[in-house]
Structure 1
Amino acid sequence: MRRLGACLVVSALCVLLTLAGGPWAGAQASPLETESSPTPISRSTSFVAAAVNQVGPAVVRLDTERTITRSLDPMMDDPFLRQFFGDRFFSQMPREERLRGQGSGFIIDRTGIVLTNAHVVDKADRVTVTLKDGRTFDGQVRGVDEVTDLAVVKIETSASDALPMATLGNSDQVQVGDWAIAVGNPLGLDNTVTLGIISTLKRSSTEVGIADKRLDFIQTDAAINPGNSGGPLLNEQGEVIGINTAIRADAMGIGFAIPINKAKEISAKLVRGEKVVHPYLGIQMTTLTPRLARENNENPNAMVALPEVNGVLVMNVLPNTPAANAGLRRGDVVVQIEDQGIVSADQLQRFVENSRVGQPLKLKVLRGDRPQQLTVRTAELQPAA
């Protein structure tokens, strides 16, 4: 009986301590108490939002205008049209037309240096730069390099204008599978952000289908549309790793960007007003493999027998070029340049791009089954008219 009475006293004491807020108070909350006092959910900013907040103010819209003159000579030379409409009709027709374009860019220096694509400001008479905060400035095209599709625009600012600036990253550290954030003004929709990953690296301009460029692109599945051109491609830290360029109208779910390290090299020269020169040989080429050569040789309609090796097949030699002057012929297979084995057209292109204008390059080619040693002196590539 004494033990039972002691237990009852202890139990009663515990209940009193709980009700009074003692050391066991709230140790086991009831379901009703849990539901009536929900724990607030902590919401953190995503890495995408953080990156865009960091770089977004430095992303600009570029509105361009240029004047073109239309020639009416073919119509004026038509006797029927002249008789039907009369000379006065033709004299009153406007011969000048204003073309407008739009693209993106981003500020890389607080003095007002904007990096963008060359095709965004191509032949522009006027460039207007609009910041995310609504401020507008006149822009002056400082330099253009069509071969790498890069251009530099200088914002005309006053000393009191405080400009945001994007942080440039290192595109050599980018890996396939990394996050990719594209920022720009696609289709006239300002301040648009898309997210994807890096799909592949060093995608050559030849593979992409633009033979007149000298670039190895970053490929991404982040949506890049017309108007995105010239805008930044960011990593998850908010650093610029590339410059978006919309170059394939038929590309679905595929975008391309110029590596920022290449842009740093070219833009520094453009800012200083220097001309960017690119060496060239003057050939149209394709990668040759033993399998492709074998298929050609088994074809009874083949124009030439090809050596079954890895190399670069010369498809055409352009007249009045270094290759033509050196005696290179259609059907030759380049297998070596300056004692370095060549197995692809991209490899040969990179080697020439990294050489100097006027530099003699020793080529080993196979002409049928006979090896030939040729020396080609590179010349400066001129942009298309």
Structure 2
Amino acid sequence: MRFSTAMQRFATHLLALILGVVLTFGTLRVSSSQADPAPIAVSPVENSGTLVAQLTPSSQGSFVTKAIAQTGAAVVRIDTARTVETRRPPMFEDPFFREFFGDRFPEQMPQERRVSGQGSGFIIDTNGIVLTNAHVVSGADEVNVTLQDGREFEATVLGSDPVTDLAVVKIKGASNLPVTPLGDSDRMQVGDWAIAVGSPGGLNNTVTLGIISTLDRPSSQIGIPDKRLNFLQTDAAINPGNSGGPLLNAAGEAIGINTAIRANATGIGFAIPINKAKELKDILAAGKEVPHPYVGIEMRDITPELAKRSNENPNSTFIIPEVEGVLIWRILPDTPAAKAGLRRADIIVEIDGKPVKSGLEIQNIVEESRIGQSLTFKVRRGNDSLNIAVKPAQLQNR
């Protein structure tokens, strides 16, 4: 009897334990099926330019989804073509070649071939005004634009400026087009989100995500000294074909124009700040030349220590004044600097009363000056201090 009662109690406890396990398992399954992990989205913080993570339902999508939904339709692919004429190889002019083969080859052997190119751009006006890079449309005699929805249009280049690598293109026969909102690149901070949109390798509507890595990166530091720009640097993937496409902020506003990459590195891309494009877009759209004052000198930053070290070198070809400033390394012929009387080995210490310590400072002062308006260069030449008036001229493709 005791054995029977004990068995009954054991069976009762065992049943309760089994039911508890089953109910617990069922509860875990329901919880996991009804509550998917919430993705992390971001929203801008008032007046800070930084982003704070917040949990939001997955149905709302990420900030990238919202940015592309707002702007993606205004990003276009640009296809170009140009005719290149080639003449017979120089070896045909070699006397030995002509003696061996005779005159079986005509004096001129012009050949034409079509060269195609591809890039990106983005619409900034409902009537089809597109911003892109100058190098995307350079020399093109045929320009075609493809919209995100697949429509294709012929286009024409209204204006192009190689110095800033900016161009404005007009889509023919189009209206009521989507536009890209333009942001304020001066408000960007290192670490802010950066979204690159374009057609790398002909793959339309490609989106990559990164951050702003550096602000105001001088063109001279990235290997393109013929440009006069300070770039936004980003690690958002930029590839051939991205050129001319927008770099967006977290709100979907264009804050840059994707332009260049570092060929020997990964995750180093550069974009023209959108505020520079804002300054020049109307000038380019009107087909006018963008003013670029220049004086015509090559420079090296110098300190008293560097100058002393150079002067102590027995192989040095000239004596450098041991002061802080900017050394004139070379004077380009037939330029404002040459005409004004600046010389190699002069040290520029001031311009219009403002001390200068780097070539970048001088370039910025000259760029912001007016063509034909004199700038007073204070220079040290040997033991003498001179004030020389230099009138900047329009920079040409030298």
- TM-score, normalising length from structure 1? 0.86
Could you report, residue by residue, the CA deviation over 1:227-275 in whole angstroms, capped at 9, with x for unpaired residues? 1111111111111001111254334321111110001111111112222
Deviation, 1:104, is 0.8
1:355 match? 369
Distance 2:271 2:215 in 1: 10
Change over 3 Å in CA distance of 1:86–1:34 after alignment to 2: farther
The range that moved more, 206-215 or 163-172, is 206-215
Q: Secondary structure at the match of 1:50?
A: helix
Asked if 1 retains the 8 angstrom alpha-carbon contact of 2:87 and 2:109, the reply is: no
1:254 match? 268
Change over 3 Å in CA distance of 1:307–1:75 after alignment to 2: closer
Q: Does 1:31 find its partner at 2:24?
A: yes
The equivalences for 1:42-191 within 5 A come to 42-43=57-58, 44-72=60-88, 74=90, 76-78=92-94, 80=97, 84=101, 87=104, 95-158=111-174, 161-191=175-205
Distance 2:359 2:126 in 1: 41
Q: Secondary structure at the match of 1:250?
A: coil
Among residues 230, 235, 247, which one is paired with 1:216 in the alignment? 230
Deviation, 1:73, is 7.1
Could you report, residue by residue, the CA deviation over 1:152-209 in whole angstroms, capped at 9, with x for unpaired residues? 0000024xx5311111000111111111111111233222222221111111111222
Root mean square deviation, CA, Å: 2.2
Distance 1:222 1:269 in 2: 30
Report the residue type matching 1:330 in the other structure: R
- Where structure 2 has 5 or more consecutive residues not aligned to the other structure, the ranges are 1-22, 37-56
Q: Does 1:314 find its partner at 2:307?
A: no
1:15 match? none
Q: Secondary structure at the match of 1:246?
A: strand
Among residues 268, 286, 301, which one is paired with 1:287 in the alignment? 301
Q: Secondary structure at the match of 2:72?
A: helix
- Where structure 1 has 5 or more consecutive residues not aligned to the other structure, the ranges are 1-29
Distance 2:124 2:322 in 1: 50
The range that moved more, 194-203 or 99-108, is 194-203
Distance 2:370 2:247 in 1: 30
Asked if 2 retains the 8 angstrom alpha-carbon contact of 1:76 and 1:90, the reply is: no
Distance 2:279 2:241 in 1: 24
Q: Does 1:365 find its partner at 2:379?
A: yes
Change over 3 Å in CA distance of 1:186–1:310 after alignment to 2: farther
Distance 2:374 2:109 in 1: 54
Aligned-pair identity in percent equals 58
2:50 match? none
Q: Secondary structure at the match of 2:256?
A: strand
Deviation, 1:303, is 2.3
The range that moved more, 359-368 or 308-317, is 308-317
Asked if 1 retains the 8 angstrom alpha-carbon contact of 2:304 and 2:323, the reply is: yes
1:273 match? 287
Distance 1:167 1:334 in 2: 43
1:201 match? 215
Report the residue type matching 1:111 in the other structure: N
Distance 2:266 2:123 in 1: 29
Change over 3 Å in CA distance of 1:86–1:57 after alignment to 2: farther
Q: Does 1:381 find its partner at 2:395?
A: yes
Distance 1:291 1:222 in 2: 41
Asked if 1 retains the 8 angstrom alpha-carbon contact of 2:87 and 2:108, the reply is: no
Between the two proteins, the alignment pairs up a number of residues equal to 353
Q: Secondary structure at the match of 1:37?
A: helix
Q: Secondary structure at the match of 1:359?
A: coil
Distance 2:262 2:376 in 1: 36
Could you report, residue by residue, the CA deviation over 1:117-165 in whole angstroms, capped at 9, with x for unpaired residues? 001100000011011111111010000011111000000024xx53111
Asked if 2 retains the 8 angstrom alpha-carbon contact of 1:141 and 1:152, the reply is: yes
Report the residue type matching 2:237 in the other structure: A
Report the residue type matching 1:377 in the other structure: K
Change over 3 Å in CA distance of 1:92–1:291 after alignment to 2: closer
Asked if 2 retains the 8 angstrom alpha-carbon contact of 1:76 and 1:82, the reply is: no
The range that moved more, 107-116 or 93-102, is 93-102
Distance 1:48 1:293 in 2: 52
Asked if 2 retains the 8 angstrom alpha-carbon contact of 1:224 and 1:244, the reply is: yes
Could you report, residue by residue, the CA deviation over 1:319-344 in whole angstroms, capped at 9, with x for unpaired residues? 11100011101111111000111111
- TM-score, normalising length from structure 2? 0.83
The runs of at least 4 aligned residues of structure 1 exceeding 3 Å deviation read: 73-87, 89-94
Deviation, 1:33, is 4.7
Deviation, 1:34, is 1.9
Q: Does 1:234 find its partner at 2:248?
A: yes
Among residues 28, 35, 38, which one is paired with 1:40 in the alignment? 35
Could you report, residue by residue, the CA deviation over 1:57-84 in whole angstroms, capped at 9, with x for unpaired residues? 1111111100011122745545646974
